[in-house]
Amino acid sequence: MEELLKKLAVELYDVQALKFGDFKTKIGLRTPIYFDLRVIISYPKLMSALAKALWTLADDVTKVSQICGVPYTALPLATLISVDNQIPMLMKRKETKSYGTKKLIEGVFSSGDNCVIIEDVITSGSSILETIDALKKEHLNVTEAYVIIDREQGGRKNLENHGIKVKSLYVVTQLMQYLLEAGKITSKVVKEVDDYLAMNQAPTISIQGTIPNDRLKLPYCKRAKLAKNPLASKLLELMESKQTNLCLAADLKKTDAILELANTAGPHIAVLKTHVDIIEDFNEGFILQLKDLAKRHKFLLMEDRKFGDIGNTVSLQYRYGLYKIAEWADLITVHPISGASVIDALKKGMKNITEPRGIFLIAEMSSKGTLTTGDYLKSAVSMAEEASNLVVGLVCQSNLSAQSGLLQLTPGVQLSKSDDGLDQQYNNPETVINAGADLAVVGRGITEASNCLKAALEYKRQLWNAYEKRINSPDM
């Protein structure tokens, strides 16, 4: 086997699947060695040989029900293994389809099937973890990954920390020795790569779906102490003391109707959410009365403005104009589409504002066909986790972050699953809480009810019961 690996190492070098110079990896690390195994699709004999060699890593092929290659480089390798060994193959899409069946995993499978992962190169292991996340959501069992090259930069450890056994044809140090013996590289290059590996390790990572459940299991009162944003701490403490995780969406057009609703439901909600630009008779007196009700009934005010412009414009929209949102809204919603600079712009708009403020970054939306998927979604989560203490949490539909100090706000909640005919999708209270929500937004389920107070109390009860069940359940 070693002679075959030496031969394949030289062939990989000769087809320029191995490059030396100054490169950047997927997660942003600089590297003097780069693996571009995508070129092997142009060399069928080499690709076939690699696929056969990879499959020798399997301990007991009779226990393998499915094979899944990490997109895209590993897909042809997985296909060859599948065909040669008559084992079914699954394909993971880069992101969920926005049409048809909306599948992320393609193929025929059953719950509990054992699936092995095929990958070309691991650095941090993030691509494998993302694939495993999608497979586990389909109730597939994944415990092993077969890899051509392990860069020895922490990926193996990251995967093992998530219960995944990694087997590789090569580790970088051994691969370099094979190339040195074959006269393809010099001792100087070997030393440069060795020094690089010693100084550069990939970070420990958590991926959606594989993240620890600490955030889901900790009570709000304990999480309040972990929040970076003072307003997030206040909100978590308020939710605990009032025993409510209900955010009421007061999407009404008249100020009197909003004030009446706030007064009626106020004792039973944590947040009152407005769309101030739909109010037909907006005036400064309305804001003063609303703030008074918020203080009296102990709830926070959120303006669901969904800021999404360039920094300077957002700063002006937040602070000035007819509504002067920065002066009265405890919380606002923000699209991260313009990048992290939007957070700095909002800080600018808070100049001379003495009360604490917070923002919810919109990572996912509840409408059909939403574009908040894939890399956009990952970037939104990263921005929230790495941003300043101005960020309170994420607006989302699923469990996206392990950080206990960040709240997850989920819109689109009704007592039964449905849609409104305008592509707004609804889920019931228990579903959204189990999916990771800390705070659930209810609008028309209360505002259009014949008895608003009765409806608010029922939502409050179901949401709080779901939360208590979540933190006390050993299976969450």
Return the higher-pLDDT residue of 183 and 162. Answer: 183
Q: How far is CA 330 from CA 166, 303, 353, in A?
A: 48, 8, 11
Residue 208: predicted pLDDT: 45
456 has pLDDT over 90? yes
Please compute the mean of the pLDDT values over residues 120-147 and round it to a whole number. 91
Is residue 244 within 8 A of residue 407, CB to CB? The reply is no
Residue 314: predicted pLDDT: 94
Residue 385: predicted pLDDT: 83
Q: How far is CA 267 from CA 22, 247, 456, 468, in A?
A: 61, 12, 10, 20
Please compute the mean of the pLDDT values over residues 215-232 and round it to a whole number. 92
Q: 290 CB contacts (<8 Å, ≥6 apart)? A: 258, 259, 262, 272, 301, 328
Residue pLDDT, tens place only, 416-435: 665 555 555 578 999 899 88
| H-run or E-run covering 307 | strand 300-307
Residue pLDDT, tens place only, 402-421: 888 999 999 989 886 655 55
97 has pLDDT over 90? no
Residue 205: predicted pLDDT: 61
Residue 28: predicted pLDDT: 53
Nearest residue to 77 via CA among 99, 94, 52: 52
Residue 386 banded pLDDT, cuts 50, 70, 90: confident
Please compute the mean of the pLDDT values over residues 50-74 and round it to a whole number. 94
Return the higher-pLDDT residue of 203 and 139. Answer: 139
Residue 212: predicted pLDDT: 43
Task: Using CB atoms within 10 Å of the CB of residue 194, give its burial: 0 to 12 exposed, 13 to 18 middle, 19+ buried.
Answer: middle
* Residue 381 zone, left/alpha/beta (φ > 0; ψ -120 to 50; rest): alpha
Please compute the mean of the pLDDT values over residues 373-398 and round it to a whole number. 84
Q: 142 CB contacts (<8 Å, ≥6 apart)? A: 114, 115, 116, 117, 132, 135, 136, 164
Q: Give domain limits for the chain.
A: 2-199, 214-472
3-state SS assignment for residue 112: coil
Residue 137 banded pLDDT, cuts 50, 70, 90: confident
Give the chain's mean pLDDT. 90
Please compute the mean of the pLDDT values over residues 152-156 and round it to a whole number. 92
Residue 10 banded pLDDT, cuts 50, 70, 90: very high
Report strand pairing: 165-171 vs 246-249.
unpaired
Residue 422: predicted pLDDT: 54
State the Cα angle at 110 between 435 and 430, rounded to 5°: 20
Buried b (16+ CB within 10 A) or exposed e, 254-292: ebeebbebbebbbbbbbbbbbbbeebeebeeebbebbee
Percent of the chain with pLDDT over 90: 69
> Which of 23-27, 294-298, 456-460 shows the lowest mean pLDDT across its residues?
23-27
Residue 211: predicted pLDDT: 40
Residue 419: predicted pLDDT: 57
Domain 2-199: give its CATH architecture.
3-Layer(aba) Sandwich (3.40)
| H-run or E-run covering 83 | helix 74-85
99 has pLDDT over 70? no
209 has pLDDT over 50? no
How many Cβ atoms are within 10 Å of 147's Cβ, its own excluded? 27
Residue pLDDT, tens place only, 77-94: 999 999 999 999 999 986
121, β-bridge pairs: 149
Residue pLDDT, tens place only, 316-370: 999 999 999 999 999 999 999 988 889 989 988 898 999 999 999 999 887 777 7
301 has pLDDT over 50? yes
Length of the chain (residues): 476
CA distance 34 to 21: 8
Please compute the mean of the pLDDT values over residues 15-31 and round it to a whole number. 78
Name the binding residues for substrate. 251, 273, 366, 424, 443-444
Name the binding residues. 251, 273, 366, 424, 443-444
3-state SS assignment for residue 41: helix
Report strand pairing: 391-395 vs 114-122.
unpaired
471, β-bridge pairs: none
Catalytic amino acids?
A: 304, 306, 309
Whether the domain at 2-199 and the domain at 214-472 fall into the same CATH topology:
no
Q: Which tokens belong to 212? A: 């620890």
CATH number of 214-472: 3.20.20.70
CA distance 399 to 395: 11
Nearest residue to 393 via CA among 210, 221, 229, 207: 229
24 has pLDDT over 80? no
Please compute the mean of the pLDDT values over residues 308-315 and round it to a whole number. 92
